[in-house]
A and B are shown apart, each in its own frame.
Chain A
Amino acid sequence: MSAADASESVETIAGIDVGGTFTDLILIGGPGGGVRIAKTPTTPGNQADGVLAALKAAGVSPSALDLIVHGTTTTTNAVLERRLARTGLITTAGFRDVLELGRRTRPQPYGMTGQFRPVIPRDLRLEVAERMDATGEALVPLDEAGVEAAARRLMEMGCESLVIHFLHAYANPEHEIRAAEIAARIWPNGHITMGHALLSESREFERGATAAVNASVQPILERYLARLQAELAAQGYARDVLVMNGNGGMVSARLAGREAAKTVMSGPASGVMAAAYTGRRAGCPNLITYDMGGTSSDVSLIRGAEPAVSHEIEIEYAMPIHVPMVDVRTIGAGGGSIVSVDEGGLIRVGPESAGAMPGPICFGKGGTEPTISDANLLLGRLNPGRLLSVEDAAPVEAVRAAFARVGAGLGLDAEGAAEAAIRVANAKMAGAIRMVSISMGHDPRDFALFAFGGAGPLHAAALARELAIPRVLIPARPGITNALGCAVADLRHDFVRTVNRPLDAVEMGAVHAILAEQTAAGRAMVVQNGAALRRVREVHTADMQFVGQTHLIRVALPDAAPTRETLQALFEAAYFARFKVELPTIRANLVNLNTSVIGERAEVDLAALTAVTPGATLGDALDHRRPVRFGADWHDTPVYARARLPVDALIPGPAIVEQMDTTIVIPPGDRAEGAADGNLFIHVGAA
């Protein structure tokens, strides 16, 4: 898309992402175009302070902004740290323990211990008489007086939020709706979540847990957003803040609270949205994204510039949040993963992590266990003088001593042990990436590895080689990818309707009616938000299986009026692609019909992300040379400054490219190539 395109944005948009450590801001558009970036410390007490500080650091007044799109970890932290609003539950008689019993599991396959704390404690879970059966027929009428009494009791017990969750409400929500009306008459605020409201599908534990999470973060999110909105308004920003959801779309801050559970996984989603956007513009619609952080790494799959969306994500042991979310999988290896030698004399990386405190040894905050970041430092891949978030000079000698201890058990010197640790970590991370991407039936040669986060580009080329992915795409600003995701994300509303019938018994008119209804509802919601839209489009999918199976395969539908034959054929093709199995004697089951309505915002030109002062030749970008170890050998390796790279730079490996927010490693045998939008490709094995 060229800068002259009529659909190009002329708005001034601020994407602001609040992460664990930093609040990142990217400002796009406005008079004269260009891009401004700011990185300020996150303020855990009230994230709004950090947001305002970031705006100030970027030198922009809120009054000059057309749109603020915000990714927040307010709800994520509230859930993970269990700082939740006091929430009560009213449920079907006989079933108050559903939220505590879960699905009868244990946290790990081996080890007979585990702990589980239900989101709503047992004394705040009350029962009333009522019962639907699986067809939606009322077997026991709703005890309306009982609902009122229960609501009063929960108020007296100090509950701020209320969940009403009845068995089979997905089949017939009448009792839930009636109970919510009764409770609303006496409940002092609007914080009432009905079980069927967020996602109307069967499975009482997952639906109830999702509703419980939603209710217990709703007041927290609303308070935060109200405060942020007020402070921005005081500085002259009059429009609604838009909030990033876990599905990779945005909603108005006024609507976000009602479905607060949808924001719990919004951080990773915005990064994936930026990847999809960047990849589409760069001609790489198929990506595996890799965001390496301190304690873990996030992986996702993008095909045809559409991130995979799932509504079956568990954010920790036995805590499912079943709302549509970008399918981001977390793997337990990051820069802080600790390197050790086990009793059998084998080198191990993780699962223990040095975390943010004390962190790796090289952070100089008291860490004593060697980590992957330390190994990168010792091998010359990280520049000891330029570690972000580090005030004191990195104690390289301490790092060396720690790896010497590791190496002693392996017959290796310190550097050899560090090199071994990187190899093992790469093998482990590549395996975990395979499990969530390639082993799901995809050919790695069709993909590019999109590496971001502070540490992703350090390992990306090695991982791509391990995975047989031919090239790596490193965006212009890997460290602020989430903020970019906020700035470019579309408006989006998702709908899921459970059908769960054999395809041959489904009335196709009803299928078309459901898809049309979902489309209409979504279109109505999308236009409410007030952002400038280029067009509104729908994505229709069906979740299907063979009759008799339990797992689902998601099938993309060509339009909102597919025929029965089309559905059967699309499903069989998808099944064969995934499993290499054909079952011509068995018919399909239609489980869910889904529609996503997407309000596409005006195209944001990422060309402004390119280097500010591009050099004429590669030599102009050379910062210094330093020895870097690859395999068993040390190479005298050029280190380039990314800000000075020529637009069409060709960089043979070995080389290092440094920028404020990351370090890119180009191993021997690979070749990097500059491209539009400030992207850098690494072609594996192309040198």
Chain B
Amino acid sequence: MIDPVTLTVIEAALQQVCDEMDLAFSRAAFSPIIAEANDRSDGIYSPVDGSLIAQGAGGLPVFVGTMQFSTRCLIERIREGLTAAPEPGDIYIVNDPYLGGTHLMDVRFAMPFWRGGQIFCWLSNTGHWPDIGGAVPGGFSASATAVEQEGLRLPPVKLFKRGAMDTEIYQIICSNIRVAEQRIGDVKAQAAALMVGEDGLTRLMDRYGDDTVREAISELRARAAARMRAEIAAIPEGTYRSVAHVDSDGVVDAPLEIRLTVTKAGERLTFDFAGSSPPCQGPMNSVLATTLSSVYLAMRHIFPDVPISAGAFEPLEVITPAGTFLDAHYPRPVSGCAAEVSQRIAEAVFAALVQAIPDRVTAAPAGTSGNFALGGHDPARGRGFVMYQLSGGGYGGARGLDGLTNGCSTIGISKAPPVEIMEQQFPVLYHRYGLREGSGGAGRWRGGFGLDYEIELRRGEARASFVMDHGRFGPQGALGGQDGAPNMVRVIRDGEVHIPPHLSKEQDIPLRPGDRVRVGTPGGGGYGDPMARDPRAVAEDVRLGYYTPDEARALFGVVTGTGGLDAKATSDLRATLRDAAETQQSGATMTRIKDKAPTHRS
């Protein structure tokens, strides 16, 4: 039996190998989505079933579960003879969403790690390419109805054979994607990261011996499982339900519903999505790998100290949501699954578990990637351009803590590009880039605030597309807290205001110079009763302009004047509001009010 100290040392070393792969990939990549937004992940996977052995700590959270499914699919296909068996020096490329993936833009590389002529494990990584072909630049088509419209779909094929790149396959890829000339940089960076992993792993195995490392891997898996079981055991027994909504699928203007029932029994948690909406026509379907990964990443947000390995997922049972939009099959379009649906699934997990472990879970965060794409032609430079503005929003309040303002998406860890860089590269002018006042959901601990920006097209012509969410319903408040402000999109053309019919999604809106786009991103949900918020904290929020005095009065029952807090008037107002609420309570239900009067400014 391996001693616990060697075990810890090997655990750290495996993690180190993955972290160094992450670093090499990001620093060498060309795609800014990989290099700046860290939309990539690197890991080590089991040779038997692809299960996760270790993964880089800085990998994009949504990939925490998907890559093991992708590796498993590859192993199965090789076993079944559908994919050619590997030889030393081979690297497979695959982006098929239905084979353990996300959307087509996430391109996976997988390489066996050989030891004495046998595959000891797999090294794999995923990187988000800026374009993979399809109807719209960038791949996020809000109105695609089949995967073929979303881009080039690659089954697992060997891009590298015995160490050399297959230039024929590479040319097929390049002929089907936009801005192909820079992809060679990403391909080499992605392959070089696997080599960094191979070197690191070889060093590790030479030092400790293959058998010791193998034993450590299986022991670490068992211990991660034990760790997660211990966390689960502390959750009160019971069944917790939640509902989360996707605004629409982008094609049919009707909300999609995620219904989640979490059952805690002993040391297991079961996640059942029965009753969720059926598969949809538009791209807001989720493939199973992404659905599972979304549950895992939500659990990791709640229990960040449990090491990432397949063991941590063992005590989590996700019942396959067959027949729903969370288990989409070919040829359903899926471009919204990794960026948006995944975050709604995480929100459902948070909303269910905040009832059980209110000390560990926050109210809902903004939960959208806020994808605004602008593609067009810049006459000053004589060339086309594709610009993305991905945005953050407010995080949910938590016990003892207000939500963070302008945090990144639940499934991401990326930095936003500076306004100055955007204006250097694209023919746009920002008129404002500010904190969206009033957007944080009221609560004893309020939500963080969203972002409010406005962009003008300066020259040429362009088309604007939006794949966002939370436009119909704001991020959910928890335990009596109010919802955060919903996402808001306004397109001002020739002085006329256009509101996308689906609120958060629309494709190819033509813009001329002088036209503007204004976006308000969601605020986080509030946590706990707003009437219990410290009146001094509310007065400070008013002083800083986060809320108006009227909002402070209406949302928090706090009265402020020129001198700040009016304590006497506040306690009177709160008493009056409390009495009124008690009278009303008699007929209240737990149903969420769909068309409630907006409490947020638009």
Contacts and interface: CB of A to CB of B under 8 A. Distances in A.
Interface of A: 94-98, 100-106, 108-116, 121-123, 133-134, 139, 167-168, 170, 202-206, 342-348, 410-411, 420, 423-424, 427-428, 431, 434-435, 439, 500, 546-551, 578-581, 583, 585-586
Contacts of A122: 435, 544-546
Interface stretch (B30-38, B244-252, B283-291): B30-38
Contacts of A344: 223-224, 226-227, 230, 307
16 contacts: A95-B434, A97-B433, A97-B435, A100-B435, A111-B304, A112-B301, A113-B395, A139-B429, A346-B11, A424-B9, A548-B182, A550-B36, A551-B27, A583-B184, A586-B182, A586-B185
B460 interface: no
A105 B413 contact: yes
B4 A202 contact: no
B35 A346 contact: no
B300 A101 contact: no
B141 interface: no
Contacts of A348: 8
B545 A95 contact: no
Contacts of A547: 182
A528 B423 CA distance: 40
Contact of A134 (B4, B424, B432, B454): B424
Given A115-B404, A133-B429, A548-B185, A109 B12 contact: no
Given A123-B543, A551-B27, A579-B28, A347 B4 contact: yes
Interface in B151-198: 181-182, 184-185, 188-189, 192, 195-196
A105 B408 contact: yes
Nearest to A409: B4
Contacts of B421: 202-203
A204 B418 CA distance: 6
Contacts of B30: 546, 548-549
A72 B546 CA distance: 38
A108 B304 contact: yes
Interface string B418-446: 11110110000111111100000000000
Nearest to B453: A94
The 5 A-B residue pairs whose C-beta atoms are closest, nearest first, are: A104-B392, A94-B432, A344-B223, A104-B416, A110-B304
B419 A204 contact: yes
A347 B300 CA distance: 21
Given A95-B433, A435-B20, A424 B188 contact: no
A109 B413 contact: yes
Given A109-B61, A123-B545, A548-B30, 11 more contacts: A97-B434, A101-B435, A105-B413, A111-B301, A113-B395, A122-B546, A343-B231, A344-B223, A427-B8, A435-B23, A548-B182
A202 B27 CA distance: 20
A71 B27 CA distance: 34
B19 interface: yes
Interface string B106-130: 0000000000000000000000000
B411 to A, nearest CB: 11
A439 B21 CA distance: 9
A347 B11 CA distance: 11
Contact of A95 (B57, B402, B432): B432
B16 A581 contact: no
B58 A109 contact: yes
A453 to B, nearest CB: 23
Most chain A beta carbons < 10 A, residue from B188, B398, B418 = B418
A428 B12 contact: yes
Contacts of B8: 346-348, 420, 424, 427
Interface in B29-67: 29-30, 32, 35-36, 57-59, 61
B423 A133 contact: yes
A25 to B, nearest CB: 39
A431 B16 contact: yes
A630 to B, nearest CB: 14
A523 B318 CA distance: 68
Interface string B386-416: 0000011001101001111111101001111
B395 A102 contact: no
B280 to A, nearest CB: 27
Q: Is chain A's interface secondary structure helix, strand, loop, or mixed overall? A: loop
B416 A439 contact: no
A205 B418 contact: yes
Given A345-B223, A347-B8, A434-B16, A167 B420 contact: yes
B346 to A, nearest CB: 9
Contacts of A585: 181, 184
B432 A345 contact: no
Given A111-B304, A134-B424, A583 B415 contact: no
A106 B420 contact: no
Contacts of B71: none
Given A101-B433, A551-B27, A112 B396 contact: yes
B24 interface: yes
Most chain B beta carbons < 10 A, residue from A101, A435, A551 = A101
B588 interface: no
Given A439-B20, A548-B182, A586-B184, A106 B395 contact: yes
B91 to A, nearest CB: 14
Given A101-B451, A549-B30, A579 B192 contact: yes
B401 A115 contact: yes
B476 interface: no
Contacts of B300: 110
Nearest to B413: A109
Nearest to B303: A110
A581 B187 CA distance: 10
A113 B26 CA distance: 25
Interface in B287-325: 297, 300-301, 304-305, 307
B406 A101 contact: yes
Contact of B9 (A103, A427, A551): A427
B213 to A, nearest CB: 14
A330 to B, nearest CB: 17
Contacts of B451: 101, 104
B395 A134 contact: no
A139 B420 CA distance: 15
Nearest to B56: A109
Interface in B218-256: 223-224, 226-227, 230-231
B198 to A, nearest CB: 12
Contact of B226 (A116, A139, A345, A579): A345
Contacts of B70: none
Contact of B189 (A103, A123, A347, A581): A581
Nearest to B188: A581
Given A424-B8, A500-B424, A551-B35, A112 B20 contact: no
A347 B6 CA distance: 10
A168 B430 CA distance: 12
A203 B223 contact: no
Contacts of A549: 29-30, 35, 185
Nearest to B399: A113
A342 B23 CA distance: 28
